[in-house]
Each structure stands twice: as C-alpha cells, then as structure tokens.
Amino acid sequence: MAVVLTTARAFATCEEAKKVLTDAGHEIKLVTPEKPLKAEELIPLIKDVDAAIAGLDFITADVINSAPKLKIIARNGVGYDRVDLDAAKKNNVYVTITPGTNSVSVCELAFSFITGLARKIHLMDKNVRAGSWKRENGMELYGKTIAIFGTGAIGKNLAIRCLAFGMKVIAYDLYPNAELKEKYGVKYYDEMDPMFEQADFISLHLPATDKTHHMINRQSISKMKKSVYIINTARGELIDDDALFEALTNGSIGGAGLDAFTTEPFTDSRFFSLNNVIMTPHTGAFTSDAVVKTLVMAAEEVVRVLAGDKPQHSVI
C-alpha cells in the first residue's frame, strides 16, 4: 500500500477521485490548505509519501529532494510553472497534468468577465443593493474585437464562444490552431503589438515564462485603446500590477477581470476600491464538473505510476 498526499483543495469533497485511489489499495494523506502551500510547509508533509496530487503549491527542489519515496507529482490542472522540473527529473519523479479537463470551466469564467464588464453588472448589482435604481451604460459584444493570447484548449473554447456572439477574434500562439484558422476564420499574428492596438477585449491564456512575464506592462498598455478590457484567467505573472493599477485609475484602459495573481491570496488593497475591475480567487477551474474530471484524471495517473506503468500526460 502506497501513501498519496493530496493538497488540491477540492480533493476533500471529490468522492470519485478518492475511490480511484482507495480501490487501488492506496492510503490517502488528505491536506486541505486555505491557500497554495509554500516549500517550507510542504516538506514535512511530503517527506514520507509515494505520490502527491498537488494544486498550485510551490514544489521546489528542496521539496522534491526531501521526499526519497516520491514517484509522481500529479498536478491538478495544466500549469506546472511552480514545480521544479529539473529536480523532478534528477530524482526520477514524474510530473503530470490534466489537459482538457477544466478548459470549458475556465473559458466560461473568462467569458463571464467579458459580459460582466461590458454591461457593468457588478456596478448595477451594487447600486440595487444600496437602494439605487441607477443604470450603467454598457456596450454590445457584437462586432467588437477580442485578442486571445494562447489558443490551447481554453483559448480555443473561448474563441468559439466569442464568435457565436458575433465578435471578431484575433489570436496569438506559437502553434496556431488549424481548426480556428480554417473553419472559423480566426486571424493569427506573429507579433503582439498589432493585437494590442486593435482589441476591445484582451484575454490571456498563456503560461508564465520568461517571454510572457509582465507582457501586460506600461509599454503594451500605451498601445491599447482607452476602452479596452483586460481578462486574465491564466497566471498573475503575465501582468505588471503597478502598470495595471495606473491604467485602471488614470483612464488608460476601460477595466479588467482578474482570476490569477502573482501572489495568492491577493492582498494588494489598492485594487479593492476600484469600480472597473472584477476579481475572483483563482476559481476558473472550480466547478463541480471540472473538479471531478480533473481530480479523477490526476488520481488515475497516480495509480498508473504506482503500479509501475508510465503516465499518459507527463511533462517530463
């Protein structure tokens, strides 16, 4: 019997994923943190386990080196920028992801930001609760241009939904999606600047890398329409918070919808009183549908590796 550490916060209530592990004869070491765990918090938890199903925890080389029995880190999602892949490889530890399981949920949250900001729903809700019948002048989505940065499963799903609302979709991706180009007529750009200049909405779906770090900054914002809305359901590192705050307060952009932050929980109180930003606690993948699909896939990867088989979705 192997011991499987679970730190993904939704695991505690996912009976389907628990059953995958217990049916295979494994013991579950259940941890339900309020926020992603830091390295020093993980080390005492992971040192004696055979596998880990992890959320957005910081799995550094020190964490991996402290766990001599560890065979697999199964990420509850598709991002793995917080896992030290070099250390995992040196220690013969698989790192797996769960592609496609939460793409609809995340893209629907991004689309909710688009519609919510366009019609200023958050402001009118606040007005009604305060006893006011004041309306806010919104905008139609029909005919507007959305620039989607990253057309993997999430970005592709978002593009299709935006097209259904009569929006013009332009895109950036190192590997353009053939179906979006040929079937839906999405125009891809090799450079970001022309997209910044055209967009009424910008939606970010790229990983956090050296190239994408702070891609939304003072320089890129200076190229945008003053009415543009910026949506981020990917990684907080894509946006320079200082530049964004300045733009939100000086009228350089229309607003923002944020579900991902460099530091989580997000505690930058400068943003809390702004009426042109909607913020959620990194909840894009947190629907009952996506939780089950994601955690079951992660659990199945753990079972495969502990049985001596190769995983299906390893990144190293």
The string of pLDDT tens digits covering residues 201-234 is 999 999 999 999 999 999 999 999 999 999 999 9
What pLDDT is recorded for position 252? 98
List residues bridging with 171 in a β-sheet. Answer: 148, 188
Instruction: Please report the domains of the chain, with CATH numbers, ordered by start residue.
Output: 3-101+287-306 (3.40.50.720), 103-279 (3.40.50.720)
pLDDT of 83: 98
pLDDT digits (tens, 9 = 90+) for 15-73: 999 999 999 999 999 999 999 999 999 999 999 999 999 999 999 999 999 999 999 99
Q: How far apart are CA 143 and CA 118, in angstroms?
A: 13
Residue 235 is among the residues annotated as catalytic for this protein = yes
How many residues in total does the chain contain?
Answer: 316
Catalytic residue among 235, 300, 301, 313: 235
| 213 has catalytic annotation | no
Of these residues, 16, 140, 179, 264, which one is catalytic? 264
Distance CA 163, CA 167 (A): 5
Q: What is the DSSP string of 225-256?
A: -TT-EEEE-S-GGGB-HHHHHHHHHHTSSSEE
Structural tokens at position 24 = 């295979």
State pTM to two decimals. Answer: 0.90
| 56 token code pair | 């957005």
Q: Give the integer Cα–Cα distance in Å for 119 and 230.
A: 15
- Out of 9, 26, 161, 282, pick the active-site residue: 282
Average pLDDT, the chain: 97
Whether 135 is catalytic is no
Q: How far apart are CA 164 and CA 184, in angstroms?
A: 10
CB 76 within 8 A of CB 51: no
* Torsion angle defined by CA atoms of residues 204, 208, 213 and 216, in that order, rounded to the nearest 10 degrees: 10
Percent of the chain topping pLDDT 70: 100
* 250-305 residue pLDDT tens: 999 999 999 999 999 999 999 999 999 999 999 999 999 999 999 999 999 999 99
